[in-house]
Amino acid sequence: MTAANTKNTQRQHKQNATAQEELKDNLVQVIAHVEELMTEWGNDFAKEREHIHELCTRLTHARFHLAVLGQFKRGKSTLLNALLGEPLLPSAILPLTSIPTFISWGENKQAKIVFRDERVYEASFEKATDMSDFLAQYVTEEGNPQNKLAIARVEVECPTPLLKGGLILIDTPGIGSTFQHNTEMTFKFLPQCDGALFLISADPPITQVEIEFLKAVQAKVIRTVFILNKIDYLSENEQHAATDFFQVVLHEQLRLDAHEPVFAISARQGLEAKITGNSALWIDSGMSTLEDYLLKFLTKDKMHSLRLAVAKKAGVILENALLHIRLKQRSLTVPLENLDQRLAIFDQKKAGRNRATAYFSSGYS
């Protein structure tokens, strides 16, 4: 590439970055105006105002929520640990409890437990296993059955390069386990997600429960990445067959492209590769391809997807608030209409009584 071409490319990148920043600033101003409106509307909209403020903050700081979603025991926590490069999150036989774990960039390994009564408990760690053992007390059914400790959320910070660009990875409880409250919580949590890593495995193949869940996911998020995990248990032919079957399901059930990308990985091998420093195994596990895709997304598409996600969520919040106002107005006007009807009936009865009184009075006069 010539020096002139290099300069043109750099100039184009700079112009694109400036345009992206202007679009972000414009959307921030619009959402901030919506927040001001809700402040004027009063305390009835405190919750909606809080959600709008959170969206505005996330957009300002370019924080993209990418949740790992899927059925129980598909390997979600292992996948996250592989992406993080260390076994920071508990991954056990028992399912996670109904608490999302938000994982963001930080210079040190830290965990913050946020309780529903707004108490906060923070801890720092040197070893990944120490953090995993600590978190297990709060985010697993074994340590915190049915969330008896009343925890609102868990926040984790770690120095993982993938997170440095504002990506927030979210570990969620799996659907379809023996604990119904986990499935319910995951569905309720979907509006907080901007994108999803949707995980299945070949044994068993994708189920009808997962298909219905995936439809709900697609309705809530802007970007979905499809992942076939546990390929280390499959032969090469079985892997191709499983991938093809998944793509057919995505095409027929969700009307996606027949060749929708599906990342075939072994999260278990990927984590082992990171722990042992085995770069060849990292490539063979398929995790290298997935990581490259995510890094490319962060560089080129994250801000565009984040703007779309935030605008969509803010629109839903505003629409629901306006619906609430209309219903409230209706509740105020309906009694007035009823009162007018009752007054009319009362006037009719009063007029009839007056006529009867006059009649009988005239008869006795």
pLDDT digits (tens, 9 = 90+) for 211-229: 999 999 999 999 999 999 9
Which band of pLDDT confidence, cut at 50, 70 and 90, is reported for residue 150?
Answer: very high
CA distance 70 to 20: 32
Which band of pLDDT confidence, cut at 50, 70 and 90, is reported for residue 171?
Answer: very high
Which band of pLDDT confidence, cut at 50, 70 and 90, is reported for residue 41?
Answer: confident
For the record, the structure tokens of 117 come out as: 């009564």
Q: What is the structure's pLDDT at 202? A: 82
354 against 236, higher pLDDT: 236
Average pLDDT for 327-344:
66
Helix axes of 267-276 and 76-84: crossing angle, nearest 10 degrees = 30
Q: What is the structure's pLDDT at 196? A: 97
Average pLDDT for 290-300:
94
- Between CA 312 and CA 221, with CA 32 as vertex, the angle to 5 degrees is 20
Q: What is the structure's pLDDT at 361? A: 42
> Do 167 and 64 meet the contact criterion of CB atoms below 8 Å apart?
yes
Residue 362 has pLDDT above 50, yes or no: no
Residue with tokens 């596990």: 285
What percent of the chain is predicted at pLDDT more than 70? Answer: 84
> Do 90 and 139 meet the contact criterion of CB atoms below 8 Å apart?
yes
Q: What is the structure's pLDDT at 129? A: 94
Q: What is the structure's pLDDT at 365? A: 39
CA distance 195 to 177: 23
Which band of pLDDT confidence, cut at 50, 70 and 90, is reported for residue 360?
Answer: very low
Which band of pLDDT confidence, cut at 50, 70 and 90, is reported for residue 330?
Answer: confident
Q: What is the structure's pLDDT at 324? A: 82
363 against 8, higher pLDDT: 8
Report pLDDT digits (tens) over 104-138: 999 999 999 999 999 999 999 999 999 999 999 99
How many other CB atoms are there within 10 angstroms of residue 39's CB atom?
14
- Between CA 199 and CA 203, with CA 201 as vertex, the angle to 5 degrees is 155
Report pLDDT digits (tens) over 267-284: 999 999 999 999 999 999
> Do 122 and 101 meet the contact criterion of CB atoms below 8 Å apart?
no
Residue 359 has pLDDT above 60, yes or no: no
Residue 209 has pLDDT above 60, yes or no: yes
Q: For residue 50, how many C-alpha atoms fall within 13 Å in the half-sphere facing its CB?
A: 6
Grouping H, G, I as helix, E, B as strand and the rest as coil, residue 227 is strand
Where along the chain do its domains lie?
A: 14-61+301-322, 62-285
How many other CB atoms are there within 10 angstroms of residue 308's CB atom?
14
Beta strands in 126-183 (DSSP E): 151-158, 167-171
Report pLDDT digits (tens) over 81-112: 999 999 999 986 656 777 899 999 999 999 99
CA distance 80 to 139: 15
What percent of the chain is predicted at pLDDT more than 90? Answer: 59
Which band of pLDDT confidence, cut at 50, 70 and 90, is reported for residue 357?
Answer: very low
Q: What is the structure's pLDDT at 110? A: 98
CA distance 207 to 306: 30
Q: What is the structure's pLDDT at 352? A: 53
> DSSP H helical segments within 121-175, as ranges?
128-139
Grouping H, G, I as helix, E, B as strand and the rest as coil, residue 152 is strand
> DSSP H helical segments within the chain, as ranges?
3-41, 46-60, 76-84, 128-139, 180-189, 208-220, 236-254, 267-276, 279-284, 287-300, 302-363
Which band of pLDDT confidence, cut at 50, 70 and 90, is reported for residue 292?
Answer: very high
Grouping H, G, I as helix, E, B as strand and the rest as coil, residue 95 is coil
124-129 long-range CB contacts below 8 Å, 24 or more apart? 128/86, 128/87, 128/88, 129/87
338 against 111, higher pLDDT: 111
Residue 16 has pLDDT above 50, yes or no: yes
Q: What is the structure's pLDDT at 20? A: 73
Q: Which residues pair with 264 in a beta bridge?
A: 228
For CA atoms 219, 225, 228, 229, give the dihedral sign. Answer: negative
Contacts of 260 (CB under 8 A, 6+ apart): 226, 247, 250, 251
Residue 285 has pLDDT above 90, yes or no: yes
Query: Of 94, 184, 88, 189, nearest to 143 (Cα)?
Result: 94
> Do 218 and 224 meet the contact criterion of CB atoms below 8 Å apart?
yes
What's the mean per-residue pLDDT of the chain? 86
Residue 44 has pLDDT above 80, yes or no: yes
CA distance 282 to 272: 8
The CATH classification of domain 62-285, taken from the options 1.20.140.10, 3.40.50.720, 3.40.47.10, 3.40.50.300: 3.40.50.300
